[in-house]
Amino acid sequence: MVERPEGEPGAKRADAPEGAADEVLDQPLPEGVRRRVVALTAESFGALTVSELPPALRQYARFTPSRRAKFAGNAMAAALESDAVFRQRIAGRLRDAQPELAEALEQGTPPAAADPLDVAAAAYVLRPEGWVKLVAAAGEEAQRARDERAGAEAEREVARLRQELAQARDQARTEADRVRADLEAVRKENESLQRKLRSALSDVKRGEAAARKAQAAAAEVRERAAADKAVADSELRRLKARIAEAEAALESSRRSAREGRSVEDMRLRLLLDTVLDAAQGLRRELALPPATGRPADTVEAVAPGRMTPKDIATRALSETDPALLDQLLALPQAHMVVDGYNVTKTGYPTMPLEKQRLRLLGGLAVLAAQTGAEMTCVFDGAELAAPVLLAPPRGVRVLFSKPGVTADELIRQLVRAEPSGRPVVVVSSDREVADGVAKAGARPVASALLLKRLART
């Protein structure tokens, strides 16, 4: 066998054992050994120059060892197998990196504590005598370890499956018991439903019989009702005829009454015209001017917008029948004097004073238009800070008491100013005011009475 210079393809190291190069691995490289060989080559790759690398591996010269192992693993394994020079260069780097392991392998005594896969990978690269056996032994050891791991995993899987099977059996027994219990409950419920169904059918039959009986009774009632209706229609026609006769007789009597009353009406009208003409002649004879004022206008008070009042008192309320007020206001020349704040604080005390006044005066204006009575509304102005700007509504006189004079005193002055005999109505719930005006000849009524009457307008 001719030795070639080191570095040329097919060259043999001078220190390589005789016969090592003739050994051939007759089976695929075990996967675990292959991964270690690729990792070892990737680590030694960077120590070589680009020119020392096979052409197929030069593109991976700048890769990191992990990226070389990932992307160039197959190419490096093929180069180690086919390119003896490249393998010898990698072997040289391995001897530099792990001299003790390389020396032990070349002496045929691999370290006992070393990983069999590392030993096999180094033997594959260094190719010492007996390297094929080392690689095969490492592959068997790795396979045996895998088998042991697979066996342990299989045993664990079998134990897990047995446990799951036991749990599944327990669950199945529990589910079967539950299903049996549910089935028994369903059976009992079915029996109960059947009993209820039989009872319901019986009730339906009784209901149908009752319905037929009710229908027969209803038909009999309809027949009686039809007969009664025929009788009632006949009676109604008879009554209508009698009513028509009565209406005709009434109209005849009314005509007779009107004809008889027309003479009396003519005599009364003539007498009334005579009295009116006499009154007009007396007014002309005495040269009496037309009445331009009212007694209430003579009472000294503060007109709206020109007074400086201070305080407004709160008084009690009462309840009465509003029909009494209608009767009083229907009297000839009736004059109603209203204690303003007594009424508003009885009816709507939560509103501001200005809105209280406006609401009351608006109701009084409507009442004055309906009854035609004279109306005066008095407000206490003792504590107001400024004059009140108020436009009195049509038909209502609005007065504010002067400083130092209360609304009660002003009301009593208004009552005293009226002539004796004129009907004067004072609206106030203040007992003192009511008693005072009653002594002066006025008729006091409660504030609640006026509120009820205004609620009807």
From residue 170, how far is each of 157, 162, 175, 177, 182 by CA, in Å? 20, 12, 8, 11, 18
**b/e map 362-379, b = 16+ CB within 10 Å:** ebbbebbeebebbbbbbb
What pLDDT is recorded for position 7? 38
Average pLDDT value for residue range 125-150: 70
Average pLDDT value for residue range 328-335: 89
> What are the structural domains, with CATH classification, of the chain?
301-455 (3.40.50)
Q: Name the maximum alpha-carbon separation found in the chain.
A: 182
Does residue 267 have a pLDDT over 50? yes
16 three-class SS:
coil
79-118 per-position pLDDT tens digit: 777 777 887 888 788 787 777 777 777 776 777 667 777 7
Average pLDDT value for residue range 315-344: 80
At 311, is the pLDDT very low, low, confident or very high (cuts 50, 70, 90)?
A: very low
Q: Can you tell me the distance from the alpha carbon of 235 to that of 436, in angstroms, rounded to the nearest whole number?
A: 65
What pLDDT is recorded for position 23? 66
Does residue 316 have a pLDDT over 50? no
Average pLDDT value for residue range 240-245: 85
Whether the Cβ atoms of residue 62 and residue 45 lie closer than 8 Å to each other: no
Average pLDDT value for residue range 185-208: 90
A 10 A CB-CB count for 92 gives 18
At 412, is the pLDDT very low, low, confident or very high (cuts 50, 70, 90)?
A: very high
At 281, is the pLDDT very low, low, confident or very high (cuts 50, 70, 90)?
A: low
Whether the Cβ atoms of residue 421 and residue 331 lie closer than 8 Å to each other: no
From residue 136, how far is each of 29, 31, 120, 162, 310 by CA, in Å? 8, 11, 8, 38, 124
At 22, is the pLDDT very low, low, confident or very high (cuts 50, 70, 90)?
A: low
Residue percentage of the chain with pLDDT more than 70? 74
pTM: 0.35
Whether the Cβ atoms of residue 368 and residue 361 lie closer than 8 Å to each other: no
Residues near 415 by Cβ (< 8 Å), separated by ≥ 6? 337, 424, 426, 437, 440, 441, 442
Average pLDDT value for residue range 58-66: 79
Sign of CA dihedral 297, 414, 420, 429: positive
At 451, is the pLDDT very low, low, confident or very high (cuts 50, 70, 90)?
A: very high
Retrieve residue 370's tokens.
């309906």
284-303 per-position pLDDT tens digit: 666 666 655 667 766 656 54
224-237 per-position pLDDT tens digit: 888 888 888 888 88
What pLDDT is recorded for position 381? 77
Among 123-127, 239-243, 410-414, top mean pLDDT goes to 410-414
What pLDDT is recorded for position 351? 92
DSSP-derived letter for residue 377 is E
